[in-house]
Structures are given as C-alpha cells and as structure tokens.
Amino acid sequence: MTTTRPELLRVEGITKAYPGVVANSDVTFAIGEGEIHALLGENGAGKSTMVKMIYGLVRPDQGQMTLRGAAYQPSKPAEARRLGVAMVFQHFSLFEALNVAENVALGMENPPPMRELAAKIRAVSEEYGLPLDPSRMVGDLSAGERQRVEIIRCLLQDPKLLIMDEPTSVLTPQEVEILFRTLRQLSAEGTAILYISHKLEEIKTLCDAATILRRGKVVATCTPREKTAREMAELMVGMALKTPERRVGAKGEVALGVSDLSVDSPIPFGTSLKGVSFTVAKGEVLGIAGVAGNGQEELLLALSGELKSGPDKVRIASHAAGDLGPVERRRAGLVAAPEDRYGHAAAPDMSLVENAFLTAGVRKGLTKNGFVDWPATRKFAEEIIAAYDVRTPGPDVAARALSGGNLQKFLMGRELMQGADVIVINQPTWGVDAAAAAQIRQSILDRAGEGAAVVVISQDLDELLEVSDSFAVLNGGRLTKPRPAEGLTMDEIGLMMGGAHGMEAAHHVEA
Amino acid sequence: MDIGGINPVILIATLMASAVPILMAALGETVVERSGVLNLGVEGMMVVGALGGFVIAVATGSPVLGFVGGAVAGALLSLIFALLTQVFLANQVATGLALTMFGLGVSSLGGQGYNGIKPPPTGQLLPDALADLPVVGPILFGHDWMVYFSILMTAILWWVLKTTRLGLIIRAVGESHEAAHALGYKVNRIRLMCIAFGGAMAGMGGAYISLVRVPQWVDGITAGAGWIALAIVVFASWKPWRVLIGAYLFGGITVLQLNLQVAGSAIPVEYLSMAPYLITIIVLVIMSAGKRGKANGAPAALGQNFHASR
C-alpha cells in the first residue's frame, strides 16, 4: 500500500543519545501522503524521542529527515508547525484553567482574534464529528473531549502530518470509535498520520504500515493487516510470548463476599455504587468489565477500605469487614491495588523501599518495636524487583523515576507477594507493554492457583477473558450478576455492558 | 462636612496616594505569580527600589528619573532571584526570603550618608484650576503622576492578562509549564521576564515611599509593605482590579486609623494600628471564600521550578 503513495516524510539514519542511553540508533523509515503509519514499540523503545525529533522538540545527533523531498530540520515546534507537522500529545499539553479556545490559540502560530477562532473551532469540530464548545474550561472536560481539543488545535493548521502519541490510552471504547472515524476521514483527505501505540489490535484495524522499534533500533516494518497481533508483539519484544497458563485449582469456600453494597462516590463527577453484590471463592478470579467512570474506582475504594460501608456489606472470609479501614482489611487478608500509579498506588517521590513498606508493612511484619525495620523492608523490595523483573538501578530510586510499566510491575509484585487471601486490582496492565502485561497476568493466575480469591477490574476485555473464571460488568454503579467466563462471546458481553450504551453514560454525573 | 473630625474627601484623596506603593508591588507580583513564580522577595525589591530611586533623584534632581532608578534597582535585584530560581533551580520560597533579607541589608549599607537629605519634590500633575474644584478636585485631579500611573497599570495589566496573546502565554506558563514547553514556549525565559517586570514594579513602589510618602531615607523604610502586597495578591485571586481594591482598602484604613488617632478616638491606639492588616485580610478572605481549587484562580504551577529534562 505504501508504494502507491507519494512520499511525505523520510527519516534516515537518525541517532539520538542521552547520557547513559541511546534512545534512537540509525532509525530509518518513510511515510507516504495520507498514510496512517504506526510506530510500534515497548515502553522505552525510543518512540517518543523519535517523534519529538520530528516535531522539533529534540534535535537528532546524526541523520537527516526530508519532508516532501526538501531537507527538514525543525529547530523548534513552531517551525515544525509552519511546515505542516502537528502533534497530539499523550498528556501534558493542555491548560486546565484556560478555556478551549485559549488552549487552541496557544498551539497556533498566528491565531485569529478569539471570536473568529471560536467560530472556526465550531466549524472544524462539526466537520469532523468532534463536538466541542470553545468557551468551556478544559478542566471540566472528559479525557475524550480534551483530546478533541488537541486534535482540533492541530487540524486548524491544515497539517500534512499529524503525530499522535498513544491517543487511545485515555479513551472509552466509544470514544476510540469516534477518533478512528476522524482519523480515517483525515487520511482520506490526504493527511498522513504517524500513530504511536502499543495496542496491537488498534493498529491492525487502523494503520496502513508499521515500523517496529526495539531498544531504539528499527527491527521490522510490516503491514499490520497481514500480521497477527501476536506476531507484532513478538517483534516488539524480541522473543516468543507465553500465553498465561491457568492452573485449575479446586475452588474453595467464599473468601470475599459483597452484598447489597451502596456507597456515595467521594470523587467529583464520580458514580455512586448501587446495590453491588458478588462473592469470590478461593482460587477464583472474578473479572469486572465496564467503560471507565461507571464506578470502578469507587468499587476499589469500597473494597480496599478507603470507603467504609455497613459492617456486613463486605465480608472477608465470612468476617464482617465493611466498617474496617485499609490497614485492618490488610490485616484481615485483603490487599488492593488502585489504578492511579502516581499518587494513589505509590507515593511518587518516595523510594521503592519506602513504597514497599507503605502497603506491605502490616502483612509482612516490617516493623520492630514501632520502628520501621529497614533491612527487612529493603529485602522485600529487592525480592519484588527480582521476582517481577523490575528494571531499576536499585531499590532506593524514587518511584517517579521508573517508567509506567516498570512501576506497575513493582506495585503488582508488592500486592501479590504479600500472601493475601483476597486480592483486588484495578487496571493491572494499564499502560504496560505486552511482555510485562503477560507476566503480570501470569502472576495473577499463579496466585489464584495458590488459592487466593482475586478481583480484577479492567477495561481490557481480552485481558479479562484471559484471566477470569467468572465475569461481571459495572454499569452506572450497578454490577451485573457474575457469569462463568468460559464460553462468553463478545456479543453477550456487549449486551451485559448495556448494548448501544451512549457515550453520555461514561460521563454520568450523579446529582 | 467633617465626620468625627475627619474630612471624607481628604481621606479618599490621601488613601489613593498612600496605596500606591502596595498597589505597584502587588501588581508586579500578580504578573510574576501568574507566570508560576512565587517571589517572596517583594519587600527586599521595594526597599532596594526605595534607595535606588532616592539616590538617583537626589543625584539628578529629577524625581521622574528617580522612579526610573527605583525600577531599575528593583529589577536588578529581582534578576538575582531569577538567576537562582530559573537557571540554578533553587527553591523559590527560600530564595525569595533570602532576597528580602539581602535587600534590607544592602539598602541599609548603601543608604549610609543619605539620612536627613530631602529628595526633590514630586508635585501634582494637573493644574490647580482642576485640583481646586470642590470634592472631585482633590479626589480625581489633585494627585501626582504616580497615582495615575498605578491606576493605568492596573487597567493595562488587566487588559494584557485577559485579552492579549502575551497575557495568554504568561497564564499558560503559570498553569502548566510542561504543556507550555511541549508547545514550544520558552518557559524559563518568559518567567525571567515576568520576574524582572515584578522587580521593576516593586522598585517603583518602593521609590514612591522614599520620594513622596516619607519623603526621606531611613533604614527599613518599607516597613512590611512588601508582605502586605504579597497577601493582597493571593486574596485578590490574582486579578488586577481586585488587587487595586485590596490596596485601596489597606491604604484607606491606614489613613483612617491615623486620622482617628489624631482626632483622639476612644479606641486604643494599638487596635487602630492593627486595624488595616486585620480588616484588609478579613475582607479579602470573604471575597475569595467559598471558592476552592481552580475557581480561586491560583496558577496551578505556582512555586514549581521547571527544568526541560526531556
């Protein structure tokens, strides 16, 4: 497919080294006009550095780029934008306290007066099916709407090349649909798109060509439609991936029972839980699906003990635990891993040793006479690092310094290695690359095989079907009746999720 | 027309002049904080500006050049802060406090030999024919140029911050330096310029104290005005017109309590002296109460240093 298109951007022999790491080494690829080109790779493979060089944020050490045959060497983003290269960032480029029009204006070279700009934003947003009100404060928008702001900011400058850095990591499935429709429309109009992701199924459905990076080098180029997700994953990782194996253990007695649990959401614009009931037996994995914002976070809070309820609403090994706080629940045998890594699951500025103590202190007995037993805590942190292959210079590094995937491995290890009877995890592999995700899923199954009751809350249906014994869906704060996961089809799951449930439900606001 | 021995027309006219130093310093700090920098060295920049303005005015005989000198002195001192926080990424709070102490010390040293000298006078701007009009004359027309300049600066800053691209960029940098950097704005350079502007404004405010309000040189002449300016910026929710209200309120109550003392009020002097601080803060707290987080307008990146690491 690529051969039929005139070439838009060619990257040749690009090398970029930072002190201690070579981010990109001799990278060469080309993008045709109107082509949707994927840049694939694990975390730290050098995708972000590569696109930052194309966008003029970083200068390459060696190599050259050509745009429509002319030498292309942007020294700053403004120059890249002038030459028709626009970029939608994964995060960090919107201003919450400014409104949509102001945010758009900041990303433009010569923005028109605000009133004209607002009219233009309306026009473009309607043309591409991305409804957006220019006068709204960005801080009040959902993740999907924020992304529209970024996209429209780019579109207003008529880009020839649109760079998208992991655009779907924050979107609901419905929003992903809308985004893909927009991208296909752009591609049909001749705008090339450089699409960075490690979600292989998306790339298969969307992209015309893919360049796969590993450790900063191009290891393959392929046409995604002709490859299986597994083949691409193995190219990315550089080794054969193991499908998690399930050790079928005998299901024991009920380890976690939740009955008629209703709690108000403490989160602004959150969803309250309404009459949630389920049980999880020893050795069982319950998968809970649902579009983000339907009560997942609240359910985790209610199970971990951060949100209290009536004593009998939550029972751990048939002891009433609904009125216990997180520490008492850990002592009673329930550990929980929240979704947000930087700030909820981990204290970002504290070291891995300190973070290991924060949740494992109770169960692993890491205190001595009221003082922290640092040697024992360090040993535990080192055990996690070894067992979960966490790539870090050492246990004394701040949590913030680890990449998302590595920190997630550490945090999963921290909870899974405490020998708890009940384990609750929200989004176990969010933003984690394929190899690490497979490893995390395997350890979840291993713990279940050893007799733990596990609740996995996730938006990744494939993941849930891979690990779950039973399956339920959270929808507007209500949980469907759990069903055996074996033999469930995507259609049935779709119906459980509310069928053609509108996008509005995802941003459901409780009065 | 006097009420309790106090003439309200004179009171209003005096409060407008007495509020100038705080207003100028607070306006400058508003811009600095809107760009995401917390410079606690306002007091130091004011006192250095007070000395710089005084020295230049005495040397040249021109009060206008004196104010320029005050602005330059304040801006130069603020550049030390800018160098430390924007280039060497020092902690802003500690650096700001050090700047105040440094400014007080330096001005005390440099002011040796200027005690007891009278600076050239700064007269009223408009002709007497206007200033002598009843009621409106003293309030609207009887001031020196700095009073009008400070009100003009309020209007200009409000307009710049609210409607211009420059203001938008300053607000953006103060809101999220990562995002601004990703879009290609030079965060530290923009902040450096805002800091220098804030220093110049504080320096002019200080010069108004030594050239007009007192008018002579004494050590520690600013007497905490910089701290009040800092408080006003926060309680005014970083909005120029509210800064003006806050400064006039403080200036007004300062003048009022002095008048009350002179008029022999029954309220003990100690209570009168603390009244401006108390009432200003109470009123501004009420004005900004009930709004939390984003709504109160605090720049999200306030006080955080930025380093373009990747």
Tokens of B155: 């209007």
* Lowest-pLDDT range of A359-373, A379-393, A492-506: A492-506
In a domain, B156, yes or no: yes
Tell me the pLDDT band of A153, cut-offs 50, 70 and 90: confident
Q: Which of A 87-116 lie inside 8 A of B, CB atoms?
A: 89, 92-98, 102, 105-107, 111, 114
| Domain shared by A269 and A406, yes or no | no
Which residues from chain A sit within 8 angstroms of residue B300, using beta carbons? 96-97
| Domain shared by A150 and A132, yes or no | yes
In a domain, B42, yes or no: yes
* Lowest-pLDDT range of A429-438, A481-490, B158-167, B214-223: A429-438
Which residues from chain A sit within 8 angstroms of residue B175, using beta carbons? 95-98
Flag whether pLDDT at A481 surpasses 50: yes
Mutation choice for A interface testing from B171, B173, B175 by most A CBs within 10 A:
B175
| Domain shared by A67 and A149, yes or no | yes
A67 strand-pairing partners: A9, A70
Tokens of A29: 């690829």
From the list B169, B175, B184, the residue facing A97 with the nearest CB is B175
Q: What is the pLDDT of residue A22?
A: 78
Q: Name the residue in chain A with its Cα closest to that of B171.
A: A98
A90 versus A458: the higher-pLDDT residue is A458
d(CA B233, CA B29): 7
Segments of chain B with pLDDT less than 70: 1, 3-5, 289-296, 308-310
d(CA B77, CA B59): 21
| Domain shared by A229 and A128, yes or no | yes
Q: pLDDT tens digit string along A20-75?
A: 677 888 999 999 999 999 998 877 778 888 888 999 888 899 899 999 888 998 88
d(CA B229, CA A462): 59
Tell me the pLDDT band of A178, cut-offs 50, 70 and 90: confident
In a domain, B135, yes or no: no
* A173-187, A397-411, A453-467, B162-176, range with greatest mean pLDDT: B162-176
Q: What is the pLDDT of residue B140?
A: 86
Q: What mean pLDDT is reported for chain A?
A: 84
**Chain pair A-B, CB pairs under 8 angstroms:** 58
Half-sphere exposure of B123 (CA within 13 A, CB side): 6
Which residues from chain A sit within 8 angstroms of residue B171, using beta carbons? 95, 97-98
In a domain, A289, yes or no: yes
Mean pLDDT, rounded, for A371-393: 90
Tokens of B191: 């902040």
The DSSP letter of residue B117 is: P
In a domain, B127, yes or no: no
In a domain, B59, yes or no: yes
In a domain, B91, yes or no: yes
Q: What is the pLDDT of residue A419?
A: 87
Tell the burial category of B296 from Cβ atoms under 10 Å away from its Cβ (0-12, 13-18, 19+): middle
Pick the closest to residue B143 from B20, B2, B259 (CA basis): B20
Mutation choice for A interface testing from B166, B173, B183, B296 by most A CBs within 10 A:
B183
The alpha-helical segments, DSSP class H, found in B236-303 are 240-262, 269-288
CB contact under 8 A, A92 and B180: no
Long-range contacts of A320-328 (CB under 8 A, 24+ apart): A322/A261, A327/A362
Q: Is residue A216 within 8 Å of residue A187, measured between CB atoms?
A: no
Contact of B175 with chain A, judged by CB distance below 8 Å, is answered with yes
Q: The CATH number of the domain where B280 resides is what? A: 1.10.3470
CB contact under 8 A, B176 and A58: no
Tokens of B25: 């310093």
In a domain, A431, yes or no: yes
d(CA A44, CA A215): 7
Pick the closest to residue A191 from A85, A74, A49 (CA basis): A85
Q: What is the pLDDT of residue A241?
A: 64
Domain boundary among the residues A419, A448, A472 is at A419
Domain span at residue B156 reads 8-115+147-292
d(CA A327, CA A338): 15
Number of CB atoms found within 10 A of residue A49's CB = 24
CB contact under 8 A, B171 and A92: no
| Domain shared by A415 and A426, yes or no | no
d(CA A387, CA A381): 10
Non-local CB neighbours of A508 within 8 Å, separated by 6+ positions: A271, A293, A294, A476
Count structural domains, chain B. 1
Q: pLDDT tens digit string along B41-69?
A: 999 999 999 999 999 999 999 999 999 99
Domain boundary among the residues A237, A265, A283 is at A237
Q: pLDDT tens digit string along B178-221?
A: 889 888 889 999 999 999 999 999 999 999 999 999 899 999 99
CB contact under 8 A, B172 and A89: no
In a domain, A144, yes or no: yes
Number of CB atoms found within 10 A of residue A465's CB = 17
Mean pLDDT, rounded, for A473-482: 88
A70 versus A343: the higher-pLDDT residue is A70
Flag whether pLDDT at A508 surpasses 60: no
Domain boundary among the residues A419, A445, A480 is at A419
A265 versus B208: the higher-pLDDT residue is B208
Q: What is the pLDDT of residue A269?
A: 64
Tell me the pLDDT band of A510, cut-offs 50, 70 and 90: very low
Mean pLDDT, rounded, for A240-246: 67
In a domain, B14, yes or no: yes
Flag whether pLDDT at A159 surpasses 80: yes
| Domain shared by A293 and A358, yes or no | no
Q: Name the residue in chain B with its Cα closest to that of A89.
A: B182
From the list A49, A95, A137, the residue facing B179 with the nearest CB is A95
Contact of B4 with chain A, judged by CB distance below 8 Å, is answered with no
Q: The CATH number of the domain where A284 resides is what? A: 3.40.50.300
In a domain, A511, yes or no: no
In a domain, A506, yes or no: no
| Domain shared by A17 and A75, yes or no | yes
Tokens of B33: 């904080």
Count structural domains, chain A. 3
| Domain shared by A101 and A213, yes or no | yes
CB contact under 8 A, A111 and B172: no
For helices B240-262 and B269-288, the axis angle rounded to 10 degrees is 160
From the list B182, B184, B185, the residue facing A92 with the nearest CB is B182
Non-local CB neighbours of A471 within 8 Å, separated by 6+ positions: A286, A287, A288, A289, A464, A465, A482, A483, A484, A485, A488, A493
Tell the burial category of B108 from Cβ atoms under 10 Å away from its Cβ (0-12, 13-18, 19+): middle
Mean pLDDT, rounded, for A288-293: 79
Mean pLDDT, rounded, for A291-308: 87
In a domain, A507, yes or no: no
Non-local CB neighbours of A236 within 8 Å, separated by 6+ positions: A40, A41, A42, A45, A198, A212, A214, A433, A434
β-pair type (A62-67, A7-18): antiparallel
Which residues from chain B sit within 8 angstroms of residue A54, using beta carbons? none
Domain span at residue A256 reads 247-333+421-498
CB contact under 8 A, A92 and B168: no
The alpha-helical segments, DSSP class H, found in A189-290 are 200-206, 229-237
In a domain, A504, yes or no: no
Pick the closest to residue A434 from A220, A223, A243, A275 (CA basis): A243
| Domain shared by A136 and A216, yes or no | yes
| Domain shared by A353 and A313, yes or no | no
3-class secondary-structure state, position A23: strand
| Domain shared by A351 and A227, yes or no | no
CB contact under 8 A, A93 and B183: yes
In a domain, A20, yes or no: yes
| Domain shared by A209 and A272, yes or no | no
Mean pLDDT, rounded, for A379-405: 87
Tokens of A427: 């989004």
ipTM over 0.95: no
Q: What is the pLDDT of residue B296?
A: 61
